[in-house]
Structure 1
Amino acid sequence: MDAPDIPSFSNLGAGSGRFVGRDEDLRRAVESVGDSVTPRKILLIGGVAGIGKTEFARRLARELAHRLGREAPDLVFACIRFAGAGEDELRTLLADLLRSRKVDEKELPSSLGARSGRWRAEVAGRLVVLLLDNVIQVGQVGPFLPADSDHVVLITSRKRLSGLKVDWPVDPLPLEALPPPAAEALIRQIAGRELDDERDRDEVAACADLAAFCAYHPLAIKIAVLGLRDTPVTLAERLADLREESSIVHALGEVDEGEISVAKTFARSYEELRPQLRVLLQRLAVAPVPAIGPGAAAALMDAGVRETRRQLDALTEEGLIEGDGAEYRLHDLVRQFARSLAERGDTTGHDAAVERLLAYYHRIATQTDAILTRQPYRIELDAPASPVPAPFADAFAGVAWARDHLDELRACAEHAHRDDSDRGRRWTIRFGLALAGLLRNEGQWTASHELQTRAIAAAEALALPLAAGYARHERGQLNRLLDRLDEATDDLLRAQELFRGATGEAAELGAAHVLNTLAVVLDRQRRREEAAATFRAALAAYERLDDRRGRANVWQDLGMFDFFASPPDYAGAAGQLARALALYQEAGPPLGEAHAHINLARTMRRLGLDGEAAEHLEAAQAIYGRLGNRLGRATLLRELGSIAPDPQRKLEALTDALRLSRELKDRSGEAAALIELGVVHGASGRPRTAEENLRHAYRILHDARITRDLQRPVDELRRLGIEPGADPGQGPAGDAGVELSRG
């Protein structure tokens, strides 16, 4: 928006002329005030130091004065910039305001209260647009607020000024880092570069990288490209120079153009903190997580959760972190600034703090894994105990917490991987195994595959065969889910060698896990006799170990082995699954119990026992709901869609199942949903859509080498009177997901 002339008087200054990327913020702010000639509005413009609050407020003030001044020609405009917070400064600023209103020097009151009262009397009955810039205390605001006049007051502050809301209705307007395109535009504008996306590809890429290096922060960008206009220095060369330092704060720390300095800007806020808050800020900066809750921060500080939350709120009030009481974040530049301080001092305390933080998150991950995983690992890596209790009441709440904080858990695993020491390798193994169940059940198979690969390398470097065996077994499971059956077999056979070369119960348990998973893979490879023998060996191993959860797993897999037999043995499957369910109900985990209910529902439906199928689905739904398990919910929706009496409800459930399977990249689940959709469309008189769904399902199964289900779409095509042809995957074109809308 253009900046119009200001009615009445102004001490705004000319502005920088570089206002990029804030048009949407400006539009929303103007709309919040509206065109009323009787507004009563206080806007608190906040954000990290250097984010551009003052420039934004000046532009907004000009725009509001222009718009409101058309209806209120006697509008009064004033801009106050605070340098401190003392009473003498407030008295001086009020005196300046009164002089601007032509109040004679002899008539200026002496006290702060009297001057404030005279200011209010001078503007009584007139519309006032007031900008209070760089407020650092709530007490600075009151003396300048009009009493009975209509007004728009813009306040800028790097602090939250929560106390303002106690006495006045305040609308917060936080400014965030610039969007990447706006940050790049600002670089081009300041540096005077007109870049063509095709001709100047290297410089365009350097511009994007430079914006990211500056964390999209306006002040950092301004300093980074200062002096480039009318010089031959390229953006790529400037970026290379800056990257010689470890961070933008280091790189620009010595650049000081008047008051422009990244380090000095943050240092002012830092120096005002109490010593304990300085320590907390530094430890938040070295913490390897993108966001942090009070419990994790308490682990960093080795302090109580309640005390730490008060300190976090104090940092939030100072504008150095952002938070809502449950989660707190640092702006990238504040993190870099505080980390540079931490690295210059004694790092021993910070290293110990990070170790406590990793222990906190690892404890939560292991608790979550215990409720999710079918095949727990039993190896001791001497994980340090967390000094802070988990932030949830029960195991089910723990799963929800871990899912909501998965980014933090994975960030801990990444931090461990970057630590090329034996300590880092041990944490790599711990997090790889502890996150296995959660990532597997969230459908993040590729991410978990990478963690297991790292855990294998770390275990081999530390000569820990049991850890390597468990990580290889988990990677074998993931390869099975990713339809890499040959790779799954290789991993499982290697894990079997490792377990057989070790002694003790943990090795025997690992070997039993391998037999069970290997049998499932052999079944997928249509090596049914070998699969049956391997299932029996796994069952015998679990019986020797008196492991009820392991036996439940085998019975469940044997049930599905019979379910997918040719011809199917549904009665046999029902018996095996019932035994699995009973054991899961005794020994856990709840997820195994839910899967058993689902598989029993599928089996009962094939046996014509729809009532019993519905009961099992209801039981599964309750457990999946408590766990928030999306993979299980997709399976549940497929079964609900299959038995729903109403065709529309069938389509809705199956469409949701298809969407979830695609989100989770579960190819087998996607194909199963498409087959059921094909059946529903065929029964509803839509053979064209049914054919597309079934052929699409065949293509998925064929490409993923899921041979045990490959015949089903062929059979369903024939039931529709459609000849599958030599390649049932070929046929009508079109995306099945689009065709669903025809239903």
Structure 2
Amino acid sequence: MLGPTRVVRDGELLDLGPAGRRAVFGLLALAHGQPLARRELVDALWGENPPATSVNIIQTHVKHLRQLLEPTRPARTPSVQLPSVGDGYALRLPAGAVDLDRFRQLVAQAAEAERQGNLTQAAQLLGKAFGLWQGLALADIPVLANHPRVLGLNGERRAALARYAEAMTATGQAAQVLPVLAEEAAAHPLNEAAQALLVRAYVAAGHRDRAFTIYDAARRRLADELGVGPGPDLTAAYLDLIEEMPAPAANSPSVVNQLPGDVFGFTGRRTEFAILDALVAAGEQTAMRIAVICGTAGVGKTALAVRWAHRVRGLFPDGQIHVDLRGYDPQRPVSAGEALARLLEALGVSAVDIPLDLDRRAARYRAAVADLRLLVVLDNASSADQIRPLLPGTPTCLTLITSRNSMAGLVALHGARRLDVDLLPADDATGLLHTLIGERVARDPAAAIDLAEQCARLPLALRVAAELAAARPASPLADLTRELADRQRRLRLLDPGDDVRAAVRTVFSWSYQHLRPEAALAFRRLGLHPGPDVDACSMAVLTGAGLDAAREALDTLARNHLVQPAPGERFTVHDLLRAYAADLAGEHDPPEERSAAVNRLFDHYLGIASATMDTLFPADRPYRPRVELATTPAAPVTGAASARAWLSAERPTLVALCLYAVENDRPGFAADLAATLYRYLESGHYTDALTVHSAALRAAGLTGNDAMQAHALTNLGAVHRLLGDYGPAAGHLRHAIELHRRTGDRYGAARAMTNLGIVEERLGQYQTAVAHHHEALAAHRALGNRYGEAAALLNLGAALSNASTASTQRSQSQAAEHLASALELFRGLGDRVGEASALSNLGDVCVNLGRYTDAIGYLIEARDLFHAINHRYGEAAALSNLGRVYAQLGEGDRAVEQLRTALEIFRRIGHRYGEASALNGLGETLRLAGREAEALEAHTAAFEIATGTGDHDESSRAGLGMQRIRQGAVKTPAG
């Protein structure tokens, strides 16, 4: 089926007979064992003008196919492989007998590999899947070329090819996929998607001139043969290719500069600087510019990267970004997906605009930095797999990586330049000491050399030792060196590790012993904090001291190089020092004190999180866990702005705390934190939402608590619903409703039913969707929950409006009444998101009722309100509906403009349902304008997305659109 129709039995190619018989066989094979009525087969073969004997012809074809497939079947016995079913037939072949099954299996395995972050395996699997194709589906049966099932299968082929190209590009193998893409583009010269893939692959492989040639030839063919310009795919590829990003002025606020502060007293590393300078001097002669600084812990990799980055920042006028990947943090290294989110946020991309899918997120990042002159410092990386998705893919950027790993994969596959950083040479080590403590080194050079050797010539240890020497100016350097040597001997007896590790821990121990008790306690408490950084508030909570004392302790630790200041009055700690602090806490602090400190930290974060949610989402307050604000020092939450700022700054720590709680016998905290933060996390932080709610579900499993499990399942279902992942969403929500009812939680059940109703609506199950929304509405009214009532009215109105194209005038009027009531409630509650959603849905209903002027008014108001509150999905939905209205009014150009803008936003935020809807709207509008080829492309893409997500409405709408184009009918677009 994946090419010309072929049937092979026992190694022998069977002759299916004439074209009509092959068509019948192909359609039945595409049905995948499901029966097809004779009427459907007749329509597919002859359309609206079948011959009078059409049914007899079909029966004759089936008879011959049965004889061919089952030559030994006795006469008058029912066929097993091609039985009659009702008024039609079904083709039932053994498992694995159809090449389509093998193709889909490989694609599914590739998707799983992608979810696990194994892009190399995904690329291999997709290559095998695409290799099964020998042309377009059923290529030898022209009569079926435009049949929806065949178009859908060819859509799967294109999607697999696109994913294969993306996976190969993401793994640095763009050049290897060029022959396949070139063959595809040559075979389909008017297919814009094929041309766009080839353009992007040439760009990724560094062949920009060739990419431009391909684009220009495709543009000319479209104009000469179809009389149209490039569509969205080819236009986007072109913009990726040539768009020039003007360098902003040095003082422009759009230039991002996230480099840590420059390194005081940096000494040596002249050879390493020369190598890095040569990489910059080489310009853009390679596809990517990557440097990897690798070496042991404490050798000064980060200091070298930061110092050099400050030296050359003027050569990267579009910005300098720094991300600490925490690759060797035992608690929670930063994943590639998290790092991409931070990179995109640094570039000004809103959280709700960041796709969830790793590949889409990486693609968004590459698009954002294309042709920018940017320096990206990826600090403390653990592996090449952590790094690959973060590579810009353009020679205008330079990526500087630090790691203890040699990153051989990046060197071999991506041409990275590796710098192996060793211990400082003796002269540079004593030179660093001279810079830090001055003439005392010159007065006793032998002692200085001895001190450098005692510190294993590691910059981290040298700086800590120098600070101790500076704090004791009256002590001769030789005395300090003997003291350190004595401590080193004692520690080696207790911990006979390697020399470098022993040297580092000796210096740490020496420094720690000279701290005052308050600062020493603060240092030990650092080992208990699971987050990536600390501030004075969290340190005060951990130590039980006041806020001023905590600040003083952190300042003392910073002066002694035991912590590093970070933006926002926060402090980070080197992972070696964090591990040492945790060891000290275990040695010196009783278990009950450590446990009490961690409990205070949990209460502190949960209390402030609850206060921020009360500020941002007051209507939900009665239904969140009852949490009292801890009496310990707390960050002020004075309004919505400060609440959002606190959540943004602390989100990585909150996620880390939730995971730590599950893994360290505090399941109740994980569940409470998830149940507190769910509304904030659903506002666009989908990756973190899945992490937190999955942790809460594990916590519920540890305790056997049904109520806890019900809330975790509800929140997981809501996030999957927002992502268009309807299968898992429905499963989680149905289980949640059962548990909520068992525990008597009416609010929880109502919230789960609301989400399930939306999922069912997307799946075309309107009767059950409306029933669940009615039930949720009754529950919220009984509870006196005005926000829940408004949300239920909104969803009920939307479900009644969207039920089908056969919706009656009465059901549309009922929908309008529910939505008007929801609008009034949302306005009374001051809920701007709800208000905008109600306006958008009212506009949709007015379209269905033919009230176009009212519809435009509602939709423009909704669009502007969504834009004002930075709700990108809502804005795109309103734009999509506006396009639909303009199409109804015959204003095709305005409709296409609105729909293309909506489509761009949906793709940017990774919203598959919205993307399919906008594509269908675009297809309907283009068909009315007589641009059938573009319309077919849009509907085909929509069909592919909708069938993948299980969206009944949009897949049916796409199928109808493709059928109308095939039949040449020009009708009013379907709603």
Fold shared by both chains (TM-score > 0.5) = yes
Question: 2 CA distance for matches of 1:721 and 1:611?
Answer: 35
Please report how far the alpha carbon of residue 287 of structure 1 lies from its aligned counterpart in structure 2 after TM superposition. Answer: 0.7
Instruction: Write the mapping of 1:579-590 to structure 2, written as runs, cut at 5 A.
Output: 579-587=821-829, 589-590=831-832
Q: Deviations over 1:399-454 (max 9, x none)?
A: 354245322221111111211x2xx1101211222232233221516x53454344
Question: 1 CA distance for matches of 2:879 and 2:959?
Answer: 23
Q: Deviations over 1:381-411 (max 9, x none)?
A: 7677362334443135423542453222211
Instruction: Write the mapping of 1:79-478 to structure 2, written as runs, cut at 5 A.
Output: 219=458, 254-255=496-497, 257=499, 261-305=503-547, 308-319=550-561, 320-347=563-590, 348-369=592-613, 371=616, 378=623, 380=625, 385=630, 387-419=632-664, 421=665, 424-442=666-684, 444=686, 447-478=688-719
CA distance 1:57–1:389, shift in 2 (3 Å): closer
8 A Cα contact 1:374 1:589, kept in partner = no
Amino acid at match of 1:339: A
Residue equivalent to 1:241: none
Residue equivalent to 1:621: 867
CA distance 1:572–1:427, shift in 2 (3 Å): same
Please report how far the alpha carbon of residue 635 of structure 1 lies from its aligned counterpart in structure 2 after TM superposition. Answer: 3.7
Question: 1 CA distance for matches of 2:906 and 2:686?
Answer: 12
Residue equivalent to 1:516: 754
Give the 3-state SS of the residue equivalent to 1:328 in structure 2. Answer: strand
| Equivalent in 657, 678, 700 of residue 945 of structure 2 | 700
Unaligned runs of 5+ in 2: 1-266, 282-296, 312-376, 385-399, 414-419, 421-455, 462-490, 970-975
Question: 1 CA distance for matches of 2:307 and 2:956?
Answer: 70
Residue equivalent to 1:51: 300
Residue equivalent to 1:38: none
Question: 2 CA distance for matches of 1:218 and 1:349?
Answer: 37
Amino acid at match of 2:740: F
Residue equivalent to 2:802: 564
8 A Cα contact 2:876 2:902, kept in partner = yes
1:24 paired with 2:276, answer: yes
8 A Cα contact 1:581 1:597, kept in partner = yes
Please report how far the alpha carbon of residue 703 of structure 1 lies from its aligned counterpart in structure 2 after TM superposition. Answer: 1.4
1:535 paired with 2:780, answer: no
Amino acid at match of 2:588: G
Unaligned runs of 5+ in 1: 1-13, 30-47, 64-173, 199-206, 208-216, 223-248, 725-743
Give the 3-state SS of the residue equivalent to 1:620 in structure 2. Answer: helix
Amino acid at match of 2:914: G
CA distance 1:675–1:315, shift in 2 (3 Å): farther
Q: Mean Cα displacement is larger for which, 508-517 or 475-484?
A: 475-484
Q: Deviations over 1:502-532 (max 9, x none)?
A: 34xxx22223323333333333343333333
Q: Deviations over 1:597-626 (max 9, x none)?
A: 33334445663122332223223333x23x
Question: 1 CA distance for matches of 2:639 and 2:307?
Answer: 52
Residue equivalent to 1:611: 857
Question: 1 CA distance for matches of 2:651 and 2:303?
Answer: 37
CA distance 1:400–1:53, shift in 2 (3 Å): closer
8 A Cα contact 2:761 2:803, kept in partner = no
CA distance 1:532–1:676, shift in 2 (3 Å): closer
Residue equivalent to 1:713: 958
| Equivalent in 486, 502, 526 of residue 764 of structure 2 | 526
Please report how far the alpha carbon of residue 15 of structure 1 lies from its aligned counterpart in structure 2 after TM superposition. Answer: 8.6
CA distance 1:574–1:55, shift in 2 (3 Å): closer
Give the 3-state SS of the residue equivalent to 2:632 in structure 1. Answer: coil
Residue equivalent to 2:110: none
CA distance 1:448–1:52, shift in 2 (3 Å): closer
Amino acid at match of 2:300: I
CA distance 1:532–1:580, shift in 2 (3 Å): same
Question: 1 CA distance for matches of 2:405 and 2:460?
Answer: 7
8 A Cα contact 1:637 1:653, kept in partner = yes
Question: 1 CA distance for matches of 2:695 and 2:597?
Answer: 24
Q: Deviations over 1:654-692 (max 9, x none)?
A: 566545544544221222333345466667886544432
| Equivalent in 493, 502, 506 of residue 743 of structure 2 | 502
Amino acid at match of 2:583: S
Residue equivalent to 1:116: none
CA distance 1:661–1:390, shift in 2 (3 Å): farther
1:551 paired with 2:551, answer: no
Q: How high is the TM-score relative to the length of structure 2?
A: 0.46
Question: 2 CA distance for matches of 1:290 and 1:723?
Answer: 61
Question: 2 CA distance for matches of 1:601 and 1:443?
Answer: 28
Question: 2 CA distance for matches of 1:405 and 1:251?
Answer: 41
CA distance 1:296–1:686, shift in 2 (3 Å): farther
Please report how far the alpha carbon of residue 195 of structure 1 lies from its aligned counterpart in structure 2 after TM superposition. Answer: 14
CA distance 1:323–1:528, shift in 2 (3 Å): closer
CA distance 1:442–1:403, shift in 2 (3 Å): farther
Give the 3-state SS of the residue equivalent to 1:363 in structure 2. Answer: helix
Amino acid at match of 2:762: R
Give the 3-state SS of the residue equivalent to 2:534 in structure 1. Answer: coil
Cα RMSD over matched residues? 5.0
8 A Cα contact 1:641 1:650, kept in partner = yes
Please report how far the alpha carbon of residue 699 of structure 1 lies from its aligned counterpart in structure 2 after TM superposition. Answer: 0.9
1:595 paired with 2:837, answer: yes
Question: 1 CA distance for matches of 2:381 and 2:901?
Answer: 36
Question: 1 CA distance for matches of 2:557 and 2:279?
Answer: 30
Please report how far the alpha carbon of residue 575 of structure 1 lies from its aligned counterpart in structure 2 after TM superposition. Answer: 2.3
8 A Cα contact 1:253 1:262, kept in partner = no
8 A Cα contact 2:380 2:403, kept in partner = no
8 A Cα contact 1:369 1:436, kept in partner = no
CA distance 1:15–1:579, shift in 2 (3 Å): closer
Q: Deviations over 1:700-731 (max 9, x none)?
A: 1111111123333345556767769xxxxxxx
Amino acid at match of 2:789: R
Amino acid at match of 1:436: Y
Residue equivalent to 1:233: none
Residue equivalent to 2:12: none
The percent of aligned pairs where both chains have the same amino acid is: 26
Please report how far the alpha carbon of residue 500 of structure 1 lies from its aligned counterpart in structure 2 after TM superposition. Answer: 2.9
Residue equivalent to 1:674: 919
Q: Deviations over 1:104-145 (max 9, x none)?
A: xxxxxxxxxxxxxxxxxxxxxxxxxxxxxxxxxxxxxxxxxx
Amino acid at match of 2:750: A
Give the 3-state SS of the residue equivalent to 1:322 in structure 2. Answer: strand
Question: 2 CA distance for matches of 1:16 and 1:318?
Answer: 23
